[in-house]
Structure 1
Amino acid sequence: MELDEDVLFLIFEELQNDAKSLHSCLLVNRSWCVTAIPVLWRDPEKYFKTVNPKRIKKLSNVIFLHLSEESRNILNDQGIKNPIITGKYQQPAFNYISYWKYLNLIFLEDVITSNIDRFNKDAKNLILNLFINKNTNFIHLSIPQNLDYQLLHISGVESCISGLESFHCNDVTDPNVLIGLAGICNSIKKLIFDNWNHYSENSGIIKLIEVQKKLNNVNFIYRKSSERNESFNKILEKSLIKHVDTIQYLRMDWKPTTKILSYLDNLLSLEINIINFIKIDEVKHLENLSLPNLKILRTQRVPSKILVNLIENTIGNLYEINVYCDGTNNKRLIQAIYQNCPYLRYLRLSLITNFNILISELENLLNHCQLLNGLIIDLYDTDYAFGWDKLFEILNKSSPINLYKFKFSSYKIIKLEHLKLFYDNWKDRKSMLVKISNKDYPSRLEVKQKLKDLNEEYKEKGIIKEYFIGIDRNVCEDFDWT
């Protein structure tokens, strides 16, 4: 029995993150091939971004094959050399570019420049014309810092990007480009605004935010830890007032300066990253903040007292908490978590304190939060000898059945005998994912090797499924965490 194409499409949708399986589907028959190709080519970046240069060149060759003979001649006359450009090749059987829905001009430029010896403005525009035309319809657009080609002046651009649902730019993007986009796009749901300069005030992004009707996910990301432009941050916060009914996900990498958060009753996810520890007096307007529907809370250097109040004012839906805070009120913070978060699945505690005094409260947390799936303990405490053996004993004794993902990071190296006892007492449980980070591993290679050997031993026994050892304190990466 042959499957209906609509049914096939739904199946392939489920495989959209599995490039290997999708490629296999192309070989079954023409019906499968025709149905799988739009899914496979919707967002090529996710399949090619981390692969080897040879595959990247293959992708660029596919793009070149879509060029008309006239365009190839123009590029050839300009001295741009590539076998596809200079040779005689037929265009592909499918218009693969027409299936692209996620247009990342940064990635596209990287792909093209990987396979030709030069790439001037005229060449960029010829390639861009392949993507901006009546045959394409994008739902995501990401533009580079210096957009030196006339994106908004290409014929057909309005129909191509009028339905954008997500958009990514940065503070040095030409404000005129953003203002032009504001005249075309008003259905953006997800917005990512990177701030590199920290002092630039891009009026274009304010205009773009203002005209949106469905803004749901907003990310203001600061890439460097220098002093930030508070006056512009305040303008950005005020620009969100119009969208308080639709915004559910918010990231802001600065100390909130207005009461915007108090208006966002529908927030499901909140991320606040502050570069320096602040005093409670500096954020008095956050002291009684209530976000009852919150499910995800991620903060850096927000006072513990603020976090305690915020967690206590939720209605128990929080399932991910990722906090790095000072040494005050941490006992009360852990208590607030296990008293108010019965559905907690992922917890990162990154603290500057004598964590030994909090171990008993951590045991209470393990006993109360029975759905906990992943735990990160990230210690910045250099003055105390932390009792990892005691922590591991409690994890062996009280870990809920779902807990098997662990990440441990500290300034002092964890003793092998403590880890060995932890692993030995993990028998008859789900194989764990383990990440262990320490700043001294590069200079203490012998210690790192012994730790690797220990983890390999328990991986062979089935106690460990996968592990990572290194210096990376970005514990939100590696493994399947969230």
Structure 2
Amino acid sequence: MPCQLPADCLNEIFEYLEEFALHSCLLVNRLWCKISIRILWRDIWDFKHSISYRHQSRISSKILSTLVACLPDESKEILYKNSILISTPTSNPPLFNYPAFCKVLSINDICQIIYMGLNIKSSTSLSLNCLVVDEFIKMFTNQNSSLKRLTYSSNYIYNITLNDISYTCFSGVNLVNLSELRCSSDINSEFYYQLSQTCHNLQLLAIDFEPKPVSNELKGLISSQKNLKNLRLSAFNGGDWTDILSSLIKHSNTLTKLYLTSDNGNLPLSFVASFPNLQQVELSFFCGGVYSKNFESLQYATFPKLQILNIPDYFPEPEYVINFLRINGKNLEKIYFFNQNNVLNLSIAELCPNLKKVFVIFNDDELDTLRTIFNSCRYLESIKFYCGKSLLSEKEILEIVAEHSPENFYELKIYNRSNSNLLPEELENFFISWKSRTSKKSLSLIIIKHYNYNSLEINEENMKIINHYKNSGVINFKIRGYEDDDS
């Protein structure tokens, strides 16, 4: 008789399975089915990120009918009285209470599946959509005491405006275990009031600021948190985070990650210095001028625990960043700077000796600078390059990586800004040099494709060489789109 592994062991194993494998596990026996269902329904909304709109519509209809089958009788009666008839997969009760397995509640995605599944588009029928949304929210919040993430972040979702939804469905709901909230600043203040009654343990708070005054209830929710660690503020088209800054002071010692993104360079940055325990900072501003001047207020701020600094868009004055690195560069492990400046690049070599990952842009006359970074940053593990027009060539990069990259280096990312000119013999010489290194760690070679340009893998001879060294364990090889690169 075959031995059955305990449920906790199976659960540990299934956590590592891909989605298609989990679907296969559904058919083995009831125990395997239950464990797989728990994992698949943990974030049921995730399906929409990787499939076509047509397939999304089919999946949305199936999720919608399953959720309707799980609704309490009272909610089903409300829908029936309003002539909302949604077919269910079977006339029998559901095998599981699927909403109880969900760790993620996305009101945006609830609106999406209802919009797709009910196909109610006319303005006179939108109240029916809102009615279904309300009943679903009540079901998720009443039947699930272990929600971890709540997303409600758009001011107009699939023909349903934020204020169309009834916030009484959150009344009395215990969201004590909620750890992530992603929201918009202009949601009805009643929503924030209801949430603030029990939700005090957020670890991550992401707010999209709209061009309207911030409610006192949102400020109160921010102030009521006990251990906020990750803060993400986004302000576009007139949005402004200034009104909440006084509410953030309480979290000056707990906050470890801060992401700020905006198209308004006038928004204040000096408050960032109030969080001395920050470990990760990203400043993504789609504007120059004033933003650069605002960064001046941070150039002498001290962050003794800072490990990651990302400035992926418009860049402040390099002088300010260099002053910042003089104080904080020693502990940095990752830098992402979308900037072309040789003085700044040389300062990284001097001031950031403990870097493990780096992305900066090297002009075609900065080969010595790259060599200096490799020789100075001896813990470097990964680097990303732009290649092409007025930039270093692939051949130059490969030669420097083979000769000067430190012992722990293992990941090379190449993003072409013009068509690749790398010859097969140049690529093979690099692999031969890598194979002969003292360190026997395999190289992860990642090509990030630009839709306008051909990269090195377009050459069939290059791919033959890559596959040969891949099969022999010298390299790992991947091709990614720019949008899929996490740098």
Distance 1:376 1:107 in 2: 35
Partner of 1:218: 231
| TM norm structure 1 | 0.80
- 1:129 aligned to which of 120, 138, 143: 138
| TM norm structure 2 | 0.79
Distance 1:108 1:281 in 2: 42
Q: Deviations over 1:3-32 (max 9, x none)?
A: 4444544555x43x7434444554554444
Distance 1:469 1:96 in 2: 35
Distance 1:340 1:27 in 2: 53
Contact 2:339 2:361 in 1 (8 A): yes
Distance 1:449 1:363 in 2: 23
Q: 1:153 corresponds to which letter in structure 2?
A: T
- 1:345 aligned to which of 332, 344, 356: 356
Q: Deviations over 1:83-122 (max 9, x none)?
A: 32xx861121210111212101112222233333325222
Partner of 1:287: 299
**3-state secondary structure, aligned to 1:58:** helix
Contact 1:331 1:358 in 2 (8 A): no
- 2:341 aligned to which of 317, 324, 327: 327
Q: Deviations over 1:439-480 (max 9, x none)?
A: 743xxxxx579836465444433456444476x4x5xx34xx
Partner of 1:461: 468
Q: 1:112 corresponds to which letter in structure 2?
A: I
Q: 1:272 corresponds to which letter in structure 2?
A: L
**3-state secondary structure, aligned to 2:431:** coil
Distance 1:466 1:55 in 2: 33
Q: Deviations over 1:306-365 (max 9, x none)?
A: 3333333337442221112353732433323xx5342x33211146xxx23432121122
Partner of 1:38: 38
Partner of 2:285: 274
Q: Deviations over 1:41-77 (max 9, x none)?
A: 2222235542443444333332122135665565456
**3-state secondary structure, aligned to 1:293:** coil
Distance 2:379 2:227 in 1: 33
Distance 2:294 2:318 in 1: 13
Q: Decide which moves more: 258-267 or 279-288.
A: 279-288
Q: 2:412 corresponds to which letter in structure 1?
A: F
Change in Cα spacing, 1:437 to 1:243, as seen in structure 2 (3 Å) is same
Partner of 1:378: 386
**3-state secondary structure, aligned to 1:121:** helix
Contact 2:270 2:294 in 1 (8 A): no
Change in Cα spacing, 1:313 to 1:465, as seen in structure 2 (3 Å) is same
Partner of 1:165: 179
Contact 2:178 2:199 in 1 (8 A): yes
**3-state secondary structure, aligned to 1:168:** strand
**3-state secondary structure, aligned to 1:132:** helix
Distance 1:157 1:459 in 2: 59
TM alignment of 1:422-441, pairs within 5 A: 422-427=427-432, 428=435, 430=442, 432-438=444-450, 440-441=452-453
Contact 1:45 1:107 in 2 (8 A): yes
Contact 1:393 1:422 in 2 (8 A): no
Distance 2:204 2:420 in 1: 41
Distance 1:215 1:62 in 2: 35
Q: Over aligned residue pairs, what C-alpha RMSD do you find?
A: 3.5
Q: Decide which moves more: 327-336 or 262-271.
A: 327-336
- 1:117 aligned to which of 113, 116, 119: 119
Distance 1:19 1:219 in 2: 29
Change in Cα spacing, 1:238 to 1:307, as seen in structure 2 (3 Å) is farther
Contact 1:104 1:141 in 2 (8 A): yes
Change in Cα spacing, 1:135 to 1:290, as seen in structure 2 (3 Å) is closer
Partner of 2:404: 398
Contact 1:142 1:167 in 2 (8 A): yes
Q: 2:276 corresponds to which letter in structure 1?
A: D
Partner of 1:200: 212
Contact 2:150 2:181 in 1 (8 A): yes
Contact 1:193 1:221 in 2 (8 A): yes
Change in Cα spacing, 1:123 to 1:257, as seen in structure 2 (3 Å) is closer
- 1:364 aligned to which of 362, 372, 378: 372
**3-state secondary structure, aligned to 2:241:** helix
Partner of 2:124: none
Change in Cα spacing, 1:440 to 1:11, as seen in structure 2 (3 Å) is closer
Query: In the TM superposition, what is the alpha-carbon distance from 1:268 to its structure 2 partner?
Result: 1.0
Query: In the TM superposition, what is the alpha-carbon distance from 1:211 to its structure 2 partner?
Result: 1.8
Contact 1:298 1:323 in 2 (8 A): yes
Runs of 4+ in 1 over 6 A off after TM superposition: none
TM alignment of 1:219-258, pairs within 5 A: 219-222=232-235, 228=238, 232-254=240-262, 257=268
Q: Deviations over 1:166-201 (max 9, x none)?
A: 101123323342244233422211001123x4x333
Contact 2:207 2:233 in 1 (8 A): yes
Distance 1:453 1:61 in 2: 49
Query: In the TM superposition, what is the alpha-carbon distance from 1:377 to its structure 2 partner?
Result: 2.0
Contact 2:273 2:302 in 1 (8 A): yes
Distance 1:168 1:340 in 2: 34
Query: In the TM superposition, what is the alpha-carbon distance from 1:215 to its structure 2 partner?
Result: 1.0
Q: 2:50 corresponds to which letter in structure 1?
A: T
Unaligned runs of 5+ in 2: 121-127, 156-160, 436-440
Query: In the TM superposition, what is the alpha-carbon distance from 1:250 to its structure 2 partner?
Result: 0.4
TM alignment of 1:286-305, pairs within 5 A: 286-299=298-311, 300=313, 301-305=315-319
Q: Decide which moves more: 104-113 or 173-182.
A: 173-182
Partner of 1:209: 222
Unaligned runs of 5+ in 1: 442-446
Q: 1:122 corresponds to which letter in structure 2?
A: L
Contact 1:66 1:92 in 2 (8 A): yes
Partner of 1:444: none
